Amino acid sequence: MNKKEVLSGNAAIARGFYEAGGAVAASFPGSPTVEIMHTLNTEYPDIYSEFSVNEKVALEVGIGASFAGARTLVSMKHVGVNVCADPLMTFTQTRINGGFILVTGDDPGMLSSQNEQDNRFFGKFANMPILDPSDSQEAKDFVKTGLKLSEDYNAPVLMRITSRVCHSRSIVALSDRENHQISGFSKKLEDYGMIPPNTFQKQFDMQDRLVRLAEDANRMSINRLEEKETSDTLIVTSGLMYQNLKELNLDVSIYKLGMVYPLPVKTLKELSKKYKQIIVLEELMPFIENEMKIHGIGCIGKELFSFTGELGSEDIEDGLLKAGVIKDKSSESIEIVETVGRVPMFCAGCPHRPVFDILKKAKVSVIGDIGCYSMAVLPPLNILNSIISMGACISIMKGMSKANTIAGNKEPLVAVIGDGTFYHSGMPSLLNMLHQLDSSYNMTLIILDNGTTAMTGGQPNAGTGKYGSQYDMHVSIENIVKTMGFERLKVIDQFSYKEASKSINEELKHEGLSIVIATRPCALNFKIKETNFYVDPKICIGCRSCVKTNCPPIAMKAYKGIEKLKSSINPYMCVGCSVCAQVCPVNAIKRKKEGQNESV
Amino acid sequence: MSQYNIIIAGVGGQGLILTTKIICEAAMNGGYDVKSNDVVGLAQRGGRVWGSVKIGKKIHSPNIAVAGADILLGMELLEAFRWKSSLKDKGLAILNEYQIPPVPVIAELEKYPQNIVEEFKKNHHVIALDAIKKSNELGTDKVANILLIGILAKNTDIDKKNWIETIKDSVPEKFVDENLNAFDYGYNL
């Protein structure tokens, strides 16, 4: 095959897995890696791939497939590895049958994440070799390298990729799919039954594979030296930092690591004798730098480069200027023009809008969770008081209620959670509410069931089956809640604004735990577009009730011949959800009739 | 072989990702090396989004690290303005004059900036039009981005046939004609 394609890093990983003869893949959606499984789902039918219920489940599906001898890929965002850390830390002790690669998407600069953790430390913690690709071609190649390393060294492999490399596109040369036989599970108790004494030998096995990997790393082609004869400085780097450094076209030697753990210690020690100084260039924490120092290789790194955020070429120049490697900067950094800001907001027709409008008017403070509704922490809503991790809001509400009770405070509490997050890890939290439930404490849990895992691009989840027979899971949250034994439950249609408002406000006042399920589907994912609405400026009194719902197409406007500003609706953006028309006190907002011109 | 550093700016939901994808593929089909960046994630929901495409003989980093964009493709006027300083002196600004008010404007806390096109004209070449309105006149508001790509295409050395081939591969078959029609409009502007 002699074909090239422009692929994102994510799509290249999927391609690499296909070419490597991969058989089973699992993930839970999370930026920046969501497109890996999406690509496997949509473009590679030879591979079994799934978005699992959560990351722990995904990893365990992967463990089973690898046990059975299939080449396996599991992918997730960086924080997903926290969720699957329990099986990972024990799986890493077992004998690898089918090659296993875990792809983690780290997010320097937190473009779409709740923290900035550096998962290379997870790789070391779990005694795994770690690969770090710098562009799409390497992302594809390293999946194949990783699966081979996994089988050859008897280790699950961590591929750490950063959000830029996930989403950046570049040209990739394609190859054909290798044939990889699925050997079957050996059932050797000493290799897979991980309790003592079987685990004793495994500690030595893990140690041994790292020693072998560190030795062989000196000869691996993915670690390479690019020497400049006149340079007395060696820069050790990996991933996108290599590309950003190359961009500067400097007269400096570079050691590029494809595998960042374990390090090719012997090679680096020899190089350290030859060079006056070694600089480690890496984003986030000083991982490579620390590893080098542990092995007695003198270097500097984080005293030159920030420990947080992304490092662009201009940041690299700043650091190298400090180290005296360069004398001047090539030019000034881009500074974006200081102008009006633009935070993300709920889409036109978003089913979360009326719920948060009602909660805002009720003047409550809400414990949040992870999903599109996290955006309710942003202006102008500013209604969420906390966001921590998937499924956390229910247990946080319980803990607060218990602490408040001890303090003699019975302040009512409200929490919101989406359907994907509820299935992911909200369910155990809800179950735990039954334990020592205080029936006199006013708590309200609102489950925003929009039928999809929306924030990451609308992946189907356990409840999406109600919106189409192509989705095989049709789990009713209402039934789960009832089966668990919760009695106070209301199921609402939040697009019937007045009824929804009445129901939510009743539950907000109810002494004890009540649960509200809001059932409207995601407008974006299900492409809901009905005839748009318009404002009749002659009726509009300029009260801004509609504007306050914070809907993208709605803004105040100066109409010709009308002195005061009146509301307006952008017809291209309106999807006809009717919420603005329902909050309008004077019926100035009307649905456009067929054949009628756009806004008046 | 020329090098083109292109910054693309818009509002989440406007189709920035497909736009960068089409530019990348046309560049590859035209025999260039290419790398792009997309900002994907939280900002997709109506936030500010931007991307970069670098086209040339050999590209290392997808980032346009220094104030070195040859072309700024502004899919929304305020977002184009935000990236004004990324553009080289005398660089080309392709501006969609279509305005999407951000939250502070909707909430009447701030005004949507005025005279943006005039600001660009002070030290850049400017091609400005309301691409949504024009696209709608051509039959559908869905082809605005392709219209803008047409303008961009005309200002590169990449052969027109590479663009047409890429667009045909990128849009559903039944929409090919209306997209090529919009591309031609932009290309011949």
* Amino acid at the residue A445: L
Residue pairs spanning A and B at CB distance below 8 A: 175
Q: Please, which residues have CB within 8 angstroms of residue A506's CB and are 6 or more apart in sequence?
A: none
In chain A, which among 351-390 make CB contacts under 8 A with chain B? 372, 375, 379-380
Amino acid letter, residue A302 = K
Quick one: pLDDT at residue A595?
67
Q: Which two tokens stand for residue A390?
A: 């998937």
Q: A580 touching B, CB under 8 A?
A: no
DSSP string, B105-122: HHTTSSPPPP-HHHHHHT
Instruction: List the one residue out of A578, A225, A551, A204 whose CA is nearest residue A381.
Output: A551
DSSP H stretches of helix in chain B: 16-29, 77-82, 103-106, 116-121, 131-137, 144-154, 160-170, 176-187
Which domains, from first to last, does chain A contain? 3-217 (3.40.50.970), 224-322 (3.40.50.920), 352-518 (3.40.50.970), 533-591 (3.30.70.20)
pLDDT at A599 over 60: no
* Residue A570 and residue A553 in contact, taking contact as beta carbons nearer than 8 Å: yes
B 35-94 near A (Cβ less than 8 A): 35-48, 59-68, 78-79, 81-86
A210 φ/ψ angles, rounded to the nearest 5 degrees: -70, -35
* pLDDT tens digit sequence for A417-436: 999 999 999 999 999 999 99
Residues 6+ positions from B134 with CB-CB distance below 8 Å: B144, B147, B185
Is B15 in CB contact (< 8 Å) with chain A? Answer: no
- pLDDT tens for each residue of B119-155: 999 999 999 999 999 999 999 989 999 999 999 999 9
Facing residue for B106 by CB, picked from A4, A346, A554: A554
* Tens of pLDDT, residues A505-539: 999 999 999 999 999 999 999 999 999 999 999 99
Predicted pLDDT at B105 = 95
Question: Distances from the Cα of A370 to the Cαs of A393, A416, A454, A487, B122, in angstroms?
Answer: 9, 10, 11, 26, 45
Q: Phi and psi of B33, rounded to 5°?
A: -80, 150
Q: Residue A230 — pLDDT band, cuts 50, 70, 90?
A: very high
pLDDT score at B66: 62
| Share of residues in chain A with pLDDT > 70 (%) | 98
Confidence of residue B67 (pLDDT cuts 50, 70, 90): confident
pLDDT at B44: 73
Averaged pLDDT for residues A44-60: 98
Cβ-contact B150, B116 below 8 angstroms? no
- What residue type is A532 in one-letter code? N
Q: How far apart are CA B48 and CA A382, in angstroms?
A: 19
Query: CA nearest B54 in A: which residue?
Result: A170
pLDDT of residue A594: 73
Q: CA torsion A547→A416→A35→B30, rounded to 10°? A: 10
Determine contact: B106 vs chain A, CB below 8 A.
yes
Instruction: Compute the C-alpha angle B17/B23/B27, nearest 5°.
Output: 145
Record the tokens describing residue A79, joined without a space: 């924080």
As given in the structure block, the two tokens for residue A400 are 């607060």
Which residues on A lie below 8 Å from B44 (Cβ)? 344, 457
A171 touches chain B (CB under 8 A): yes
Min Cα–Cα distance to chain A from B150, Å: 20
DSSP labels for A421-432? HIIIIIHHHHHH
pLDDT tens digits, one per residue of A537-548 = 999 999 999 999
The pLDDT of residue A277 is 97
Report the range of poorest mean pLDDT among A273-287, A329-343, B112-126: A329-343
Q: Whole-number mean pLDDT of chain A? A: 96
* Rounded mean pLDDT, A381-403: 97
Using CA atoms, how far residue A563 sits from A436, A559, A566, A585, B41, in Å, is 61, 8, 9, 21, 41
Q: Are A275 and A109 in contact (CB under 8 A)?
A: no
| A300 in Cβ contact with A234 (< 8 Å) | no
Closest CA to B63 of B143, B111, B5, B20: B5
Q: The tokens of B85 are what?
A: 């300083």
Is it true that domain B4-187 has CATH number 1.10.10.10?
Answer: no
Distance from CA of A89 to the nearest CA of B (A): 29
**φ/ψ bin of A239: left (φ > 0), alpha (ψ from -120 to 50), beta (otherwise):** left
Mean pLDDT, range A558-584, rounded to an integer: 96
Residue linked to tokens 């290392």: B60
Cβ(A33)–Cβ(A150) below 8 Å: no
Q: What is residue A9's three-state secondary structure?
A: helix
Angle at A481 between CA A480 and CA A482, to 5 degrees: 90
Q: Contact B61/A339, CB-based, under 8 Å?
A: no
Name which of A58, A146, A165, A44 is nearest A106 in CA terms.
A165
Strand A413-418 with A366-367, pairing: parallel
A212 in Cβ contact with A152 (< 8 Å): no
Residue to mutate among B16, B45, B77, with most A CBs inside 10 A, is B45
Q: Is the pLDDT of residue A600 over 60?
A: no
What global pTM score does this model have? 0.96
Instruction: Tell me which of A340, A378, A567, A575 to substitute to probe the interface with B (most B C-beta atoms closer than 10 Å).
Output: A340
Residue B130: exposed, middle, or buried by beta-carbon count in 10 A (0-12, 13-18, 19+)? middle
Rounded to whole angstroms, how far apart are CA atoms A428 and A503?
Answer: 26
- Calculate the average pLDDT of chain B: 94
Is the Cβ of A523 closer than 8 Å to some Cβ of chain B? no
How would residue A575 be classed by pLDDT, with cut points 50, 70 and 90? very high
Q: Which amino acid is at A219?
A: R
Distances (CA, A) of A541 to A62, A264, A555: 60, 72, 14
Q: How far is residue A423 from each of residues A153, A380, A486, measured CA to CA in Å?
A: 36, 29, 17
Q: What is the spatial distance between Cα A370 and Cα A77, in angstroms, rounded to a whole number?
A: 13
Does the pLDDT of residue A485 top 60, yes or no?
yes
Q: What is the mean pLDDT of residues A351-368?
A: 97
Q: How would residue A331 be classed by pLDDT, with cut points 50, 70 and 90? A: low
**Closest by Cα among B55, B73, B66, B63 to B16:** B73
- Do residue B103 and residue A342 have CB atoms under 8 angstroms apart? yes
Tens digits of per-residue pLDDT, A136-177? 999 999 999 999 999 999 999 999 999 999 999 999 999 999
- Asked if residue B65 has pLDDT above 90, the reply is no
Helix or strand or coil: residue A86?
A: helix
What would the pLDDT profile of A203-223 be if each residue is shown by its tens digit?
999 999 999 999 999 999 999
pLDDT of residue A212: 98
- Is pLDDT above 80 for A560? yes
CB-based contact A545:A519 (threshold 8 Å): no
pLDDT at B41 over 70: no
Q: Which of B25, B58, B60, B100 to mutate to test the interface with A (most CBs of A within 10 A)?
A: B60
Please check the confidence at residue A238 and state whether its pLDDT lies above 60. Answer: yes
Contact residues on chain B for A573, CB-CB shorter than 8 A: 100
pLDDT of residue A84: 98
